[in-house]
Amino acid sequence: MFARGFLVSLFAAFALMVPTAAASSAPHLSLPAGDSTDNGNVYLGDSSVITVTVNSDGSSPLDITSVSIYAFPGNSEYFSIEQDNCSGQSVESGDHCTFQVRFTASVVGHKFTSVRIDSNDVESGGMKFFGISGTGINPGIDADAASHNFGTVQVGEYGTDKTFTIENDGTSDLNATATITGTDAAEFFFSSQPNCASVTPDSTCQIIVNLRPLGSAGPRSANLVIANNTKNENPVTIPLTATASAPHFTSEPLGLGFGQFDLFDDPPATRPLTIKSDGTADLKINGMVIDPLNSNSNAFTLDQGECVDDLAIAPGDDCTLNITFKAGSFGEGSYNTSLLVFTNNGDQSVPVSAARTSGGMSTDSSADVGDVELGQTGSATLTLTSTGTAPLKMSPPVIDGPDAGMFSVDQPSDCNGLASGQSCEVTVHFTPTSLAGKQAGLTLSGNFGSTGVLLTGSGTQAFVNVPGDITFPTTIVGKQVTWDESLISNGSAPFSLGSLTIEGADASMFSVETTGSCASVAHGDECPYSITYKPTSTGSHEAQLKITGNLAGGSRTIPLSGTARNLTPAKVSLKLTGAKQVKPGKTVTLTARISKSGEEQTGDLTLKTVVPKKMAASVKPVRIPHLGAGNRTVTRKITIKVRRSAKSGQKLKVEATVSGGGLNKAGKAGKTVTIR
């Protein structure tokens, strides 16, 4: 209250300096924070920074000369100005600037002063003040125990109160609040409501905690959490532990099951049962009996053995008794009852059960493996189903009959021990060594008696029809010709192609590929393929096509042959036609007819024309693009300019030739034109 009153008085004094009237167009300074601001509680040695915003909300710019801490003895030295973006600035109307005030807590206690802002704000008389304050704090906390173990406490009982003394070893008030958290927090509680809300320096407060375990025996844990206003010890956590104890009963096994006894077996009729004290207090046996209200109880007898009445079993110890199933006196069926044990942990019940059973099995009367290729193995599956009340027991299977050597059986071990309604699979294998149908008998035996199963299968073999020799027509070297053919499946088993390969002296000139599906080709269907003959030299060529697959003997071969030759060479002939006379100084036009024969094509050709220089001007050569294979004919015009000096009656002899790539011999022709 003193600080607040001082600041208000200080502001009032300065207010007297403000003129009673100011022009409406004057600059104006306002502070959104109001008349004062508080840096709050600051730990000793730390500091707190607040940002102050100065608004220019007059009608002209606000010129700020300086921002400074008002010198208030014993207070102002704890405050300082930082990040000053206002001093020496002209702030446009509607804009703002900022600076920061730092409070450094060097001593404990509340400190206050004011900030002075010098400006051209006429309304404030050129000086604006607002209060700043902060409080240095240095509380401390010291708990007299880092943890506490309440020891062993009986389930449902209360433990012993534990008092925790909390001391304020700091130099300012300690504010603390206690809560209990953790896994078993619900079983721990405050014996009296703790009050540590305000503990003066060197004073103490007390927190009293206890527990009451509920439920089962075992460890308990929680945390006493003391939230406080110290700098480095908030919160203080004190672990709380205890052990809840109680007697407890268990048996080994948890239920005494004699299992199922086949009527054909002599069952072991006596079983031991162990009673264990696995709690944290003595387990006392007050008595036991096989449930007299259960109609099956007369099938069992009880021998208490070590587990006599009034026996106290210490934690971790046990005793053993025996129960006998009178198997020889009872027929097929289930016998279920309970052993009742009366203890200081309550009445306990241990299930007791046994059964008398007999075996049974059902399966198909026959198993047909079907068609299997010679040398291969086919399989069929028999499903065996247990139909008795005893687990299925089987002897090794037996196969006999005329073709028994071609059949075998895999009986998995999981067929033995099958309960009623469960099934297993037996695999029958058939490996024929000859064609046609085969059969044998399979005998299955066990605790169900014996059952016969007829086994059948048929031996088959793949076969294909292949063409005879394949002869290719005469082929030009470098060209190719393709022969399409098929392998026809004609055996009792589907044909599956292994490979098609070319062998022999001229194998490199032949190639083969399949053109359709050649896997599992049924009887009468085809495996299409094509063979290509591409000779690289002239003459006769031979090779063989080798066929592999599931064929008797493993493979078949087909002879291949072909003949190759080169193309006939290209030849050209030349013929000139046109006017027979021409006047001096005139032009004569001739037609050159070029005829090509032969299978080879030519390269580019050149038509050259030669005339006497004294009688006519030179004639430029004519280029003719290459002529393709076979017979070709092209024509070109030859234009000759006769000189004026040529004499009437002279003979103009024209000679032409055609030459170029692909020709063994050039074509030649001539013509005479008379000058008149």
Q: Is the pLDDT of residue 22 over 50?
A: no
How much is the pLDDT for 456? 93
From 358, 522, 382, 320, select the one nearest 446 (Cα to Cα): 358
- Please list, in sequence order, all residues whose beta carbon lies within 8 angstroms of the beta carbon of residue 80, skipping any fewer than 6 positions away: 69, 101, 102, 104
Q: Mean per-residue pLDDT for 486-497?
A: 85
Alpha carbon distance 457, 439 (integer Å): 6
Report the distance separating Cα 112 and Cα 37, nearest Å: 10
- Same domain (yes/no): 453, 480: no
Model confidence at 21: pLDDT above 60: no
For the segment 26-53, what is each residue's pLDDT rounded down to a tens digit?
999 988 766 788 889 999 999 999 999 9
**What is the arithmetic mean of pLDDT over 404-409?**
90
- Name the residue range of residue 670's domain: 571-675
| Residue written as token pair 């290509």 | 532
Q: State yes or no: cis peptide before 235, omega within 30 of 0.
A: yes
Q: Is the pLDDT of residue 277 over 50?
A: yes
Residues 429, 409 share a domain = yes
DSSP-assigned beta bridge partners for residue 52 = 99
Whether 626 shows a pLDDT value over 70: the answer reads yes
Signed CA dihedral, 513, 516, 517, 523: sign only? negative
Q: Which of 275, 330, 277, 276 is nearest to 301 (CA)?
A: 330
Distance in Å from the first CA to the final CA of the chain = 148
644-647-649-650 Cα dihedral, nearest 10 degrees: -90
Q: Is 432 in the same domain as 309?
A: no
CB-based contacts of 674, cutoff 8 Å, min separation 6: 580, 581, 582, 649, 650, 651, 652
Number of domains in the chain: 6
Q: What is the mean pLDDT of the chain?
A: 89
Are 469 and 555 members of one domain? Answer: yes
Residue 526 burial (CB count, 10 A): 17
**Better-scored residue on pLDDT, 14 or 107:** 107
Amino acid letter, residue 605: L
On whether both 370 and 489 belong to a single domain, the answer is no
CATH assignment at residue 127: 2.60.40.10
Contacts of 603 (CB under 8 A, 6+ apart): 626, 660, 661, 662, 663
Of the candidates 37, 151, 30, which has an alpha carbon nearest to the alpha carbon of residue 95?
30
- The two counts, helices (H) then strands (E), for the chain are 1, 51
Instruction: Report the Cα 165 to chain-centroid distance in Å.
Output: 57
pLDDT for 48 equals 94
On whether both 133 and 8 belong to a single domain, the answer is yes
Chain center to CA of 50: 52
Strand partners, 408: 429
Average pLDDT over residues 134-159: 92
Of 458, 488, 511, the residue at which a domain comes to its end is 458
Last residue of a domain, one of 565, 584, 610: 565
Q: Are 358 and 447 in contact (CB under 8 A)?
A: yes
Tell me the sheet residues that pair with 668. Answer: 657
Q: How far apart are CA 230 and CA 246, in angstroms?
A: 43
- One domain for residues 239 and 194: yes
pLDDT band at 339 (very low <50, low <70, confident <90, very high): very high
Nearest to 636 by CA among 571, 581, 576, 570: 576
Q: How confident is the model at residue 491 (pLDDT cuts 50, 70, 90)?
A: confident
* Residue 586, pLDDT above cutoff 80: yes
What integer is the mean pLDDT of 44-65?
93
Same domain, 378 and 325: no
262 and 330 fall within a common domain? yes
- Which residue, of 357, 390, 410, is where some domain finishes? 357
| 496 shares its domain with 538 | yes
Residue-wise pLDDT for 169-222, tens only, equals 999 999 999 999 999 999 999 998 888 999 999 999 999 999 999 888 899 999
Whether 575 and 639 share a structural domain: yes
Sign of CA dihedral 34, 36, 42, 48: positive
Nearest C-alpha neighbor of 164 from the set 187, 188, 182: 188
Tell me, yes or no, whether 380 and 441 share the same domain. yes
**Higher pLDDT, residue 394 or 673:** 673
Largest distance between two CA atoms of the chain: 166
The string of pLDDT tens digits covering residues 363-377 is: 999 999 988 888 789
pLDDT tens track for 218-250: 999 999 999 999 999 999 999 999 999 888 899
Residue 16: pLDDT over 80: no
In DSSP notation, 564-594 reads EEPPPPBEEEEEEEE-SEE-TT-EEEEEEEE
Of 387-396, 541-550, 566-575, 620-629, which gets the smallest average pLDDT? 387-396
With a cut of 50, say whether residue 5 has pLDDT above it: no
Q: What is the mean pLDDT of residues 119-148?
A: 92
Percentage of the chain modeled with pLDDT above 90: 64
pLDDT of the residue at 358: 77
588 CB neighbour count, 10 Å cutoff: 22
Share of the chain above pLDDT 70, in %: 95
Helix ranges (DSSP H) in 134-191: none
Residues forming a β-bridge with 635: 593
